[in-house]
Structure 1
């Protein structure tokens, strides 16, 4: 029996005790003194008080219960005062009620109680109650007890009904609490799943973008420095393929961002001719490769400058035109741009992409804009892609309050029509549009070769990793920018108190004070007012730009940093008065010999080509980075051992994060990957993995260190 049942039984038993006592007095005194109506009225009044006592136990305040109880005892005393002769019978009946109270708590006594009740009913029955005057004491006692039991059962019914109702209410409350707990648990699971998805996308972004950035960065150096037309054509193909791969990654991240509701429409002024021309130039080579004709028809009277989300419009049009090229084997693709006026300040921009390709079956139209879905898979099995492009396009169009429709004849081609409202900035018409806007390889080369110097500009670079600082210094060498390097947020703040800088490059993850906290301190102390600050991060993910902008950064750069992206960003952020534009022409470049270049050595653990790509192919800078890496070995090794022995995973994570970056800078990609695994494990509190894999990490670190020392010795000789 639980505590609740015991408490309820105790209260009910006590109530029955008093009820039995009262009713015994009635049976022994009132029945022979008063007439039947009077006896009945007194009995009903007492019964009402008794039932009130039973009900009141859990329903009224303790003070009210005491008052009712006192009134009952007063009535009891008054009734007892009528006769002293039957007091013995009164106390005998009260003693029997003690057994009744116990019978509520134990099945054995319950059976005794029922037996006595049955015997009384058989011997006397209710009629004996009314003829009890002058009866034997035993018969009188049993008759009294039978009367008590009748009232007792009535009170029990009332009390039980109240208890059942209370129990049902309590069960409903518990059920509601349980339901709320289940809902809360499910919400927690959903939030955990969303976080896992975001973490997965963050890791995937880092894993894929790092080597892809290296490929595109090295390829850009080829476009910048090569004079060989064949090499330039190869480089253009690499550039095109790399950008397509990058667009696939962006599709996956954008889809996730739209799903989570974090995608926003940002409207800006843009030039219609520039938008269309850039897209045509970007895709023209793909048309040539497939032997397709690209036709571009732009309404000459369309306003030249509009206001809308240029980035998303570019993405929408690129997705549709890329699909047209994929699914068209011969013939042409026609891009048409026209408009319909809404009022004097707004128009509906209409973009139509019509192809002579494979077309779409009527049954597949509904699946066309579903995520991760590809139609007619048997026929299109050789077409590459994620099946996300049109899904993203449809959602972006909807977010821009527009519509997208498709008209298609299977086997003959398709026509995708996008309508989006745009505000008018300039009524000046675009005029005649040149449909063929391809860039020659010479133009590509001249664009890539563009350079600048800024000898009067001062840039402060903050990174706790000395090797990263050396890389940035080396990449900016040809710009003649004055670079000052510090290794902590505190040093950065101290420098800013003493000197003026035109730009700050601030690493995100640093011990003691990270980049975000450092920037908060800089702003709170009103240092470097108006100076742009760029975040350096090894974990680029969709939404990173928004996150850094929210914390006050002007922009961010993903590690490993390519020389070209660094130069472009600095060029954009430096004041114009500090920048001097120079143009490298083919004649200014050294003529390459016909003999092949001496192949660069690649060790088993260090990829020299990869390392040089991070150093702008500067052997001298590579040697400096190697030397710094070797000098840090002993201290870093000691820190790792000490922090793991102390089980300080937070600081251990920072140390292996630095090892990840420096190892990648010297081309030790495998060690960098292992260090990254330790970084993530430390972040997630997975001590078992860190401890079990620690010896392997140290062994690989030592092996890389030995090769780095040997390579450095060779470079210095």
Structure 2
């Protein structure tokens, strides 16, 4: 059979046929031996049969020869045995049934020659028997002739049927293989599609979240701050859902990868606690109880541990009407490290046996009607189960309808530091008391959870604990014991505020309170924010008392690194603006580079402590640039921390970047917690300082020759000759959705104007590059350039230009010259109109003589040019100044972009052409 048709099905049947044929041969050999002894046939032949059986089993067990050779030997010996049996008179009329059965058996091999050999063996044996019969008996009787003809007809029919079966098998197998190839190709395309979707969606979300975090650090009214927090929360929610979809797809395709890195369990719990604090309903209590014997530093995949824990906790919150969620984390020592045991118990609606199976086996939401507390994609438990399996663990579920559920995960983890995760500095004179009536908690089960948390922690730490429900009982307790720490609830504090404030002068009094509760100014009472964790309580026991200490601790914990010399490398200037705005908040000395070669030149001129490197860049991608910088550092004995900064969100991306040599990985959009966790892990301790001790630091600028290519131009004063006009109106009338662009900039008009200026400032250069790469047929660089044009114009609100660039990007990636030719010129024309409208809105256009053209509204000019200026302004949160900056940025780079687009189109470099029009 041709090698092409040997697909997985035929190969599996072929392997199965080996053993079956060998067994049949052995049975037939035993029967042949019995017949030979019974009829006194030639005994020497039996020795050959016996040797053949032993040899065949030896070949099968040792797999000495290729499979086809072995099955050929088995078949030859079977047919030889049948021939030997058939040439004897006693076996003449048994020959046809034996050959028919053998033919059917050989159909499993999917080998037509085997069928032909069977027919040939029958013909030879039957011819021999007929000749012998004629010689011994003379004329052959009519009934005998009839029997011979019937046997020949039977074997001929079996031979034809066997050949038809094999041909049908081949056709079916080939069709199945084609379908599998088609499905595999579809799955691969879907995988690529999801990766592209991840990049495309995360890039604008990066801008939204990044700019929101910047705006939150500025002075805002309470209402503005609430709105910004809502925008930021929505951005993070979209990012999480994208991540969940990608994780589910990777799990479903068995492509989920697991990293191994050191992590601190306390950091994971603190992250989850912070998310619960902002997301959980106020009437749901969440408790994190951690066994103090769990190792402090583990080795595993912290991102997946965090995801597993978050999905289990959020699942409990969703399906709990009242009560709470109790998380217990323990560990059991093993040879490889520990089994991390996570048990999440809730008092929710529970599940039936059928619902448990469905929840773990498919996309499913238990109680998808009114019983659900909040929305979701229904992927949580599937992701949890897939991630746990990928890490070598298992998940069990115990649940009873209307009585809650218990999810237990056991995950193997390595150990980096065997010391306990929770310790006390000193137990001397430490005595804990709790005054909690749990008046706001109706569930007795939740009250028991709190008792287990505080009582178990005190017992494990060896600290005496006394619990009371009434103030009178506490007064009695105080007479007999020297209480050092008192834990109370909000109601207990409010009912006895004056007494508690006075009591805080002699002991540490702590109020466990939800978000929103505030203590009076100058209060000495400590505040413990819910959800409560073992780490919070232990940290409080290890610190001094007083509200001032709280403020000092919070301020000291704020990350600040003014001595860090950092460089951000990205080919999109707007991404550089966002990254710079975030990193400046940490006091870093920021230098920017817009390409790999520019970063190399900067590294030759000065040393950097930290480099954030984008991946997809023209000429030299981020991985290549990182390796060249590493080589240069090694030559001069310097070491730079390299962090990959990319919108590629699939789980294998982190592993790939770390394997290539990056020290860390931060995905776009940038999550502040993830960024700070990475900085704390990678930066040397001497570069991390408390914000309260830091001196003001002046941000370092890049060298002039590189700054020209990498730095965002400073806003230029608007010419006095430009007629008075509303820039937003100009943009809207030009077809630019300026309102959407302003919304992207969180209604910061100054910021929007900066981005507009940056866009126009590089426009000529970008056009030149696009044209150049097209002319050269350099589709890789063409796609990179239009990719950048697609995203930057989208941020401004120039949707029409963005869509044209997107079309060119995909066409360039496919090297579809016809598609590029159809859209390229339209894109250039739209690009020029957009840049002209933005420049006019910013006051950068050539002023027309007053007698010919009356004073125009900039937004009107833009609208008339086909730019949806209103949408662009909306992106900038209706901040006209910010929108103006974006327009100036667009116009500033218009010539450059136009040149690049033209270059790549003329060069037929469709990849770079697509990248340029994408931008």
TM-score interval for Structure 1 and Structure 2 normalised by the shorter chain: 0.5 to 0.7
* 1:546 corresponds to: 655
Q: 1:272 and 1:224 mapped to 2: Cα distance?
A: 29
Q: 1:624 and 1:527 mapped to 2: Cα distance?
A: 40
Q: Residue 558 and residue 680 in structure 1: after superposition, are their counterparts in 2 closer, same or farther (change >3 A)? A: farther
Q: 2:797 and 2:359 mapped to 1: Cα distance?
A: 44
Aligned partner (choices 433, 452, 456) of residue 560 of structure 2: 452
Is the aligned partner of 1:316 residue 2:308?
A: yes
Once the two structures are superposed, residues 59-118 of structure 1 have per-residue CA deviations (whole angstroms, 9 ceiling, x without a partner) of xxxxxxxxxxxxxxxxxxxxxxxxxxxxxxxxxxxxxxxxxxxxxxxxxxxxxxxxxxxx
Aligned partner (choices 284, 290, 294) of residue 286 of structure 2: 294
Q: 2:808 and 2:580 mapped to 1: Cα distance?
A: 29
* 1:654 corresponds to: 784
1:173 shift after superposition: 11
After superposition, residues 524-543 of structure 1 pair within 5 angstroms as 524=631, 526=634, 529-537=638-646, 539-543=648-652
Is the aligned partner of 1:252 residue 2:361?
A: no
After superposition, residues 153-172 of structure 1 pair within 5 angstroms as none
Q: Residue 621 and residue 569 in structure 1: after superposition, are their counterparts in 2 closer, same or farther (change >3 A)? A: farther
Determine if contact 1:347/1:421 at 8 Å carries over to the other structure.
yes
* 1:515 corresponds to: 622
1:335 shift after superposition: 0.9
Determine if contact 2:556/2:691 at 8 Å carries over to the other structure.
no
SS at the partner of 2:815?
coil
Q: 1:395 and 1:699 mapped to 2: Cα distance?
A: 50
SS at the partner of 2:616?
coil
1:332 shift after superposition: 0.9
Determine if contact 2:616/2:622 at 8 Å carries over to the other structure.
yes
Q: 1:338 and 1:473 mapped to 2: Cα distance?
A: 39
Q: 1:447 and 1:235 mapped to 2: Cα distance?
A: 23
Q: Residue 568 and residue 699 in structure 1: after superposition, are their counterparts in 2 closer, same or farther (change >3 A)? A: farther
Is the aligned partner of 1:262 residue 2:255?
A: yes
Determine if contact 2:760/2:839 at 8 Å carries over to the other structure.
yes
Is the aligned partner of 1:192 residue 2:185?
A: yes
1:253 shift after superposition: 0.9
1:563 shift after superposition: 9.2
Q: 1:210 and 1:396 mapped to 2: Cα distance?
A: 26
Q: 2:574 and 2:342 mapped to 1: Cα distance?
A: 49
Q: 1:548 and 1:429 mapped to 2: Cα distance?
A: 30
Aligned partner (choices 402, 405, 414) of residue 405 of structure 2: 414
Greater Rg over alpha carbons, structure: 1
* 1:70 corresponds to: none
Q: Residue 550 and residue 711 in structure 1: after superposition, are their counterparts in 2 closer, same or farther (change >3 A)? A: farther
Determine if contact 2:211/2:578 at 8 Å carries over to the other structure.
no
SS at the partner of 1:243?
helix
- Structure 2: gaps of 5 or more residues: 1-159, 424-453, 458-486, 488-510, 519-526, 530-550, 695-725, 845-883, 889-919
1:649 shift after superposition: 3.2
Q: 2:834 and 2:228 mapped to 1: Cα distance?
A: 32
SS at the partner of 1:387?
coil
1:686 shift after superposition: 3.1
Is the aligned partner of 1:678 residue 2:804?
A: no
Aligned partner (choices 489, 512, 515) of residue 596 of structure 2: 489
Q: 2:803 and 2:738 mapped to 1: Cα distance?
A: 17
Determine if contact 1:467/1:665 at 8 Å carries over to the other structure.
no
Determine if contact 1:496/1:527 at 8 Å carries over to the other structure.
no
Q: 2:685 and 2:747 mapped to 1: Cα distance?
A: 29
SS at the partner of 2:201?
helix
Is the aligned partner of 1:391 residue 2:378?
A: no
Q: Residue 519 and residue 274 in structure 1: after superposition, are their counterparts in 2 closer, same or farther (change >3 A)? A: closer
Determine if contact 2:331/2:338 at 8 Å carries over to the other structure.
yes
Determine if contact 1:405/1:417 at 8 Å carries over to the other structure.
yes
Aligned partner (choices 352, 360, 377) of residue 369 of structure 1: 360
Q: Residue 470 and residue 687 in structure 1: after superposition, are their counterparts in 2 closer, same or farther (change >3 A)? A: same
TM-score computed with the length of structure 2 as normaliser:
0.49
Q: CA RMSD in A?
A: 4.8
Q: 1:338 and 1:486 mapped to 2: Cα distance?
A: 45
Q: 1:368 and 1:296 mapped to 2: Cα distance?
A: 24
Once the two structures are superposed, residues 663-690 of structure 1 have per-residue CA deviations (whole angstroms, 9 ceiling, x without a partner) of 3564545533442332122102233333
SS at the partner of 1:384?
coil
Determine if contact 1:341/1:347 at 8 Å carries over to the other structure.
yes
1:709 shift after superposition: 0.7
1:713 shift after superposition: 2.3
1:697 shift after superposition: 2.4
Q: 2:825 and 2:202 mapped to 1: Cα distance?
A: 29
1:369 shift after superposition: 0.2
Aligned partner (choices 687, 700, 708) of residue 838 of structure 2: 708
1:313 shift after superposition: 2.7
Q: 1:565 and 1:354 mapped to 2: Cα distance?
A: 27
Is the aligned partner of 1:403 residue 2:394?
A: yes
Q: Residue 227 and residue 471 in structure 1: after superposition, are their counterparts in 2 closer, same or farther (change >3 A)? A: closer
1:630 shift after superposition: 2.0
Determine if contact 2:318/2:373 at 8 Å carries over to the other structure.
no
SS at the partner of 2:310?
helix
SS at the partner of 1:543?
helix
Q: Residue 376 and residue 175 in structure 1: after superposition, are their counterparts in 2 closer, same or farther (change >3 A)? A: same
* 1:39 corresponds to: none
Once the two structures are superposed, residues 284-336 of structure 1 have per-residue CA deviations (whole angstroms, 9 ceiling, x without a partner) of 344434x223345455666665555443232222112211211122x212314
* 2:202 corresponds to: 209
* 1:37 corresponds to: none
Determine if contact 1:281/1:439 at 8 Å carries over to the other structure.
no
Q: 1:336 and 1:567 mapped to 2: Cα distance?
A: 25
Q: 2:299 and 2:674 mapped to 1: Cα distance?
A: 28
Q: Residue 441 and residue 499 in structure 1: after superposition, are their counterparts in 2 closer, same or farther (change >3 A)? A: farther
* 2:822 corresponds to: 692
1:474 shift after superposition: 6.1
* 1:137 corresponds to: none
Q: 2:260 and 2:668 mapped to 1: Cα distance?
A: 29
* 1:133 corresponds to: none
Q: 2:829 and 2:657 mapped to 1: Cα distance?
A: 37
Q: 1:639 and 1:234 mapped to 2: Cα distance?
A: 40
SS at the partner of 2:620?
coil
Q: 1:275 and 1:480 mapped to 2: Cα distance?
A: 26
Determine if contact 1:474/1:615 at 8 Å carries over to the other structure.
no
Q: 1:302 and 1:636 mapped to 2: Cα distance?
A: 56
Q: 2:756 and 2:381 mapped to 1: Cα distance?
A: 47
Q: Residue 362 and residue 380 in structure 1: after superposition, are their counterparts in 2 closer, same or farther (change >3 A)? A: same
SS at the partner of 1:328?
coil
Q: Residue 712 and residue 639 in structure 1: after superposition, are their counterparts in 2 closer, same or farther (change >3 A)? A: same
1:540 shift after superposition: 4.5
Q: 1:601 and 1:562 mapped to 2: Cα distance?
A: 31
Once the two structures are superposed, residues 586-631 of structure 1 have per-residue CA deviations (whole angstroms, 9 ceiling, x without a partner) of xxxxxxxxxxxxx995843556677678889886665554334223
Aligned length: 539
Q: 2:570 and 2:635 mapped to 1: Cα distance?
A: 19
1:488 shift after superposition: 4.3
TM-score computed with the length of structure 1 as normaliser:
0.62
Determine if contact 1:233/1:441 at 8 Å carries over to the other structure.
no
Q: 2:830 and 2:224 mapped to 1: Cα distance?
A: 37
